[in-house]
Amino acid sequence: MSGSSLDGLDACLAQFEKIGDMWAYHILESTTFPFPKDLASKLKNSPTLDAQSLLALDVTYGLWIAKNISSLVEHADLISVHGHTVFHSPADRVSLQIGSAEVIHLQSGKPVVSQFRNTDILLGGQGAPLVPMGEKLLFPSFDAFLNLGGICNATFRKENRWLAGDIGPFNQVFNHYASMLGHALDADGEIARSGQLIPELIQSWADNPYFRQPFPKSLANQWVSSHFLDIKKFRPSDILHSFAHFITDQLSAVISGNNPERLMITGGGAYNSFAMELLHQKCKTEINIPDSRLIDCKEALIFGLLGLLRWRHEVNVLSSCTGAHRDSSSGVIYQ
């Protein structure tokens, strides 16, 4: 799994066992392979490439993935690859993730499942979020989940139905403005903590109609760039301070509106102490932040399960979370 933060490839080797209607998991190994600067730059600029260059990057990235995970998957039965999202526009029935699964299959000799979003989109869904099925099956003691990646998304159990959607950007914004100050990221949210509040900026974000749309809904990287990453009028630290307040306002409003009992928070944003302090102040729900291994690899773990469910021809995408006409078993299998 590699997200929009572009900090690296999260890889998780896990064993799964079905117990009744649920699944148990055991993480055997997990790691993050940092992207070389040239590869990160190419992936970041991938939406601007011509068709031939994009196809070439698809193969190049697939070879890089296969090389890095070779020792990890030596004894694996199945590989699941989410890939790097270049375009995501469900309204146009388009979502493209690169990192050629066919190349990974040929290099590893293992069956590979990829392209998890397209079937759901063709069924009228958003093609996102996909992790709710894994959250439902692997973590039954929780009724809410918050993933703070490049884009933050949430999942809620409402009686016997699951709802989910993208709430807004997260690490993409923190990383972008931290990089303007010479840092790869805003460690612990300290840059944001040092800034000053800009009420007019918060109001301009809050006025965006996306934040009033109900679930299910999803965001594209290009949307984040155009609405949050092109601000030059204010100091980066003040932008981040204001954004931390804004996004935790949005998160607490969504959480309070769904009134869960137990919330799990994972993703790199869970390490942002400033944002977590603000969220604790604004949210009355019991918040649980697991150990660092699960914080870092929960999405990779879940995509492993989604690939396994696809291999077994079982439902791995919940239409109640994506807006599709029906649940589906999504993903392309290379074998």
The whole-number pLDDT of residue 309 equals: 98
Helix axes 171-179, 221-228, angle to 10 degrees: 50
CB atoms within 10 A of CB 207: 9
Q: How large is the average pLDDT for residues 230-255?
A: 97
The whole-number pLDDT of residue 6 equals: 81
**Distance between CA atoms of 282 and 277, rounded to whole angstroms?**
9
**Distance between CA atoms of 170 and 236, rounded to whole angstroms?**
15
Q: How large is the average pLDDT for residues 287-315?
A: 96
Q: How large is the average pLDDT for residues 190-213?
A: 97
Whether 136 has a pLDDT exceeding 90, the answer reads yes
Whether 77 has a pLDDT exceeding 90, the answer reads yes
Q: How many CA atoms lie within 13 A of 297 on its CB side?
A: 21
**Distance between CA atoms of 238 and 302, rounded to whole angstroms?**
36
CB atoms within 10 A of CB 153: 27
In whole numbers, what is the pLDDT of the chain averaged over residues?
A: 95
Q: How large is the average pLDDT for residues 27-45?
A: 95
Residue ranges with strand state E in 42-188: 79-80, 84-89, 94-98, 112-114, 144-148, 151-158, 161-169
The whole-number pLDDT of residue 308 equals: 98
Using pLDDT thresholds of 50, 70 and 90, give the confidence band for residue 174: very high
CA angle 326, 331, 333 (to 5 degrees): 140
User: Which residue's entry shows tokens 């990646």?
Assistant: 149
Whether 213 has a pLDDT exceeding 80, the answer reads yes
The whole-number pLDDT of residue 221 equals: 87
The whole-number pLDDT of residue 1 equals: 85
Using pLDDT thresholds of 50, 70 and 90, give the confidence band for residue 322: very high
The whole-number pLDDT of residue 311 equals: 98
The whole-number pLDDT of residue 160 equals: 84
Whether 4 has a pLDDT exceeding 80, the answer reads no
The whole-number pLDDT of residue 64 equals: 98
**Distance between CA atoms of 189 and 232, rounded to whole angstroms?**
20
State pTM to two decimals.
0.91
139-163 pLDDT, tens per residue?
999 999 999 999 999 999 988 899 9
Using pLDDT thresholds of 50, 70 and 90, give the confidence band for residue 314: very high
The whole-number pLDDT of residue 207 equals: 97
116-130 pLDDT, tens per residue?
999 999 999 999 999
**Distance between CA atoms of 156 and 142, rounded to whole angstroms?**
9
**Distance between CA atoms of 333 and 78, rounded to whole angstroms?**
10
